[in-house]
Chain A
């Protein structure tokens, strides 16, 4: 990617070039991500609208396409209300932490072969660690608001994130065993061959567990007990208005897209074409890998929205049971199965 930026980079002194290049790459990720977040909210309202036999937003611009911008401007000009007994510093830091966690993980996400900001060897671990740090935003927002509903939301989220993070970690152990690498690019390369070489097939239980845990990690329905508007108003962000609320929404949708991207990378072959290894391969060879990547992200995002429109919210004890007693044992068993398969070099995946 550095090649076609080189005339621009030559304008800068030698020592600064790398820094400028990294900054440009960051902008190339963050700006489209923010636009994607805006249109994911639009897509969500439209899709859920159609699923519930409504039209959804259709007033602002053609087909309501400018609705996200109208929402953002409305929220930006709203008054920011600080609860009188809130801990002001943490109250304002919490949304920043949660947004930070939703954005930094993108540094290691490869969009195409070699299209990654930081090609880290321990990329998989980095993604897990950053996701783990994101829990603090929700807990601290709940605590700093000094409101009972918010505190309850924060506590619920702390308990359920620990459970699902474990399941997520174990599911990724499966990916690690299959690909023999922690580098996200190597993980995608290890899946090349054909659509059945992608890890969704040999690691089907892991794939399901990972995606379910991903939905839980992002606090999305049916796991949105941290918000739980029918029980605790809006949970951890009940006291936030204006920009604070925008940051929470931005972080929620950004981490939805992140989880979709990671699922695509780990289990659905990342940038690889689904027609690889078939007679259609050459017919679709002109499509760049990043398009396949975006298509996979879009399909998984649609699942997120579909879940929200379909499932009622889990009760707290049901969430705990599913996390600890169903998902974690499933991954543990499949790790053993996979260990046997790796030992006997079961083809075509573990050869």
Chain B
């Protein structure tokens, strides 16, 4: 067994195991962390496939941004685990049915008939100066430019929709206008009053004597 194959087995089993643990663990923060580990292991198996761009982007986007937001939310939640486990037996047949259908679909699509070594032979290792990133970019912006742009527009629409759904007008909220704060000059806040110096005390005393 070659070293690469050993690495693949380590990463692949780690991905499957952590995915399983993510579903079964009761602590929500642990579940999020297992999901991070799943992404990491998957990224490493992709690296073994010489797909370094996808692998690093998976870590950058999912581990670095998406899961951080997940953790952000999960850490603040007080999830009642007992309530989520209610009705486990009642929904078991339905869940098992869906799981079996999905397994069947996956085995049909991903089986050796469509993805076997005779259909997709193992790729020839590329030379060291081959840039995966450039290859993806040059195809993405020429051959697949319309699907790519459409996907981008769909994402934009989803983003606008998400913002609109959560937008609440709250006129009673007070907030600072940073631009106005930065624009403030000394003259707006401080008034320098020029006034004559007061008369001497002994002058007043003399006046007192005269009275």
Say whether B69 faces chain A, with CB atoms less than 8 Å apart.
yes
A318 and B76 contact, CB distance less than 8 A: no
Asked whether B71 lies within 8 Å of A139 as measured between CB atoms, the reply is yes
Report whether B131 and A182 are in contact in the complex, using a CB–CB cutoff of 8 Å.
Answer: yes
Residue A115 at the chain B interface, CB threshold 8 Å: no
Chain B's closest residue to A326 (CB) is B178
A132 lies within 8 A of B65 (CB): yes
Q: How far is the CB of A199 from chain B (nearest CB, A)?
A: 19
- Contact flags A309-351 to B (C-beta < 8 A → 1, else 0): 0000000011001000000000000000000000000000000
Question: Which residue of A is nearest B59, CB measured?
Answer: A129
* Cα–Cα distance between A206 and B36 once the two chains are bound (Å): 31
Tell me whether A165 and B64 are in contact (CB under 8 A): yes
Question: Contact at A125–B65, with CB atoms within 8 Å?
Answer: no
- A151 CA / B36 CA spacing, docked (Å): 20
Contact (Cβ within 8 A) A143 B29: yes
Residues of the B chain whose Cβ atoms lie less than 8 Å from the Cβ of A90? 33
Closest to A120 in B: B52
| CB contact under 8 A between A158 and B64, given known A125-B53, A318-B178 | no
Contact A125 B72 (CB under 8 A): no
Contact across chains for A135 and B60 when beta carbons are under 8 A apart: no
Against B, the Cβ 8 Å flags (1 = close, 0 = not) of A130-167 are: 01110110011011000000010011001101100100
Residues on A with beta carbons closer than 8 Å to the beta carbon of B60: 125, 128-129, 132, 169
Please state if B56 and A126 are interface contacts (CB–CB under 8 Å): yes
The 8 Å CB contact of A121, one of B36, B71, B75, B132, is: B132
Cβ of B126 to closest chain A Cβ, rounded Å: 10
- Tell me which residues across on chain A come within 8 A of B29, comparing CB atoms: 143
> When chains A and B are docked, how far (Å) is the Cα of A8 from the Cα of B207?
102
Chain B nearest Cβ from A304, distance in angstroms: 23
A131–B53 alpha-carbon span in the complex (Å): 16
Contact digits for A114-125, partner B, Cβ 8 Å, 1 yes 0 no: 000000111001
Beta-carbon contact of B68 and A151 below 8 Å: no
Which residues of chain A have C-beta atoms less than 8 A from B131's C-beta? Answer: 121-122, 182
In angstroms, Cα B69 to Cα A136, docked, is 11
Chain A residues whose CB sits within 8 angstroms of the CB of B75 once the complex forms = 139, 142-143, 151, 154-155
Q: Judge whether B36 and A125 touch: CB under 8 Å.
A: no
Which residues 81-98 of A have a CB within 8 angstroms of B?
A: 90
- How far does the Cβ of A270 sit from chain B's closest Cβ, in whole Å? 20
Q: Shortest beta-carbon distance, B67 to chain A, in Å? A: 8
Contact A155 B76 (CB under 8 A): yes
Bound-state CA distance A170–B104 (Å) is 43
Contact B72 A155 (CB under 8 A): yes
- The answer to whether A129 touches B64 (Cβ under 8 A) is yes
Given the complex of chains A and B, what is the CA–CA distance between A162 and B130 in angstroms?
32
**Chain B residues within 8 Å of A161, by CB:** 68
Chain A count of residues within 8 A CB distance of the other chain: 30
With A162-B68, A182-B133, A321-B178 given, is the CB distance from A132 to B63 under 8 Å? Answer: yes
Q: In the docked arrangement, what's the CA distance between A126 and B178, Å? A: 36
Q: Interface code A3-15, partner B: CB below 8 Å = 1, 0 otherwise?
A: 0000000000000
Complex Cα distance, B29 from A151, in Å, reads 13
C-alpha gap A294/B132 in the complex (Å): 32
Q: Considering only CB atoms, which chain B residue lies closest to A183 in the complex?
A: B131
List residues of chain A with CB within 8 A of the CB of B52.
Answer: 120-122
B49 within 8 A of A: no
Question: Which residues in A have their C-beta under 8 angstroms from that of B9?
Answer: none
Which B residues are CB-close (under 8 A) to A139? 68, 71-72, 75
Interface string of A74-110 (1 = CB under 8 A from B): 0000000000000000100000000000000000000
Contacts of B72 in A (CB 8 A): 139, 155, 158-159
User: In whole angstroms, how far apart are the Cα atoms of A128 and B68 in the complex?
Assistant: 15
A-B residue pairs in contact (CB < 8 Å), sample of 20: A122-B52, A122-B56, A122-B131, A122-B133, A125-B56, A125-B60, A128-B60, A128-B64, A129-B56, A129-B59, A129-B63, A129-B64, A132-B64, A136-B71, A139-B71, A139-B72, A143-B75, A155-B75, A158-B71, A317-B175
Residues of B in contact with A (beta carbons under 8 Å apart) = 29, 33, 36, 52-53, 56-57, 59-60, 63-65, 68-69, 71-72, 75-76, 129-133, 175-176, 178
By Cβ-Cβ distance, the 9 closest A-B pairs, closest first, are A132-B64, A129-B59, A129-B60, A125-B56, A158-B72, A129-B56, A121-B131, A122-B52, A143-B75
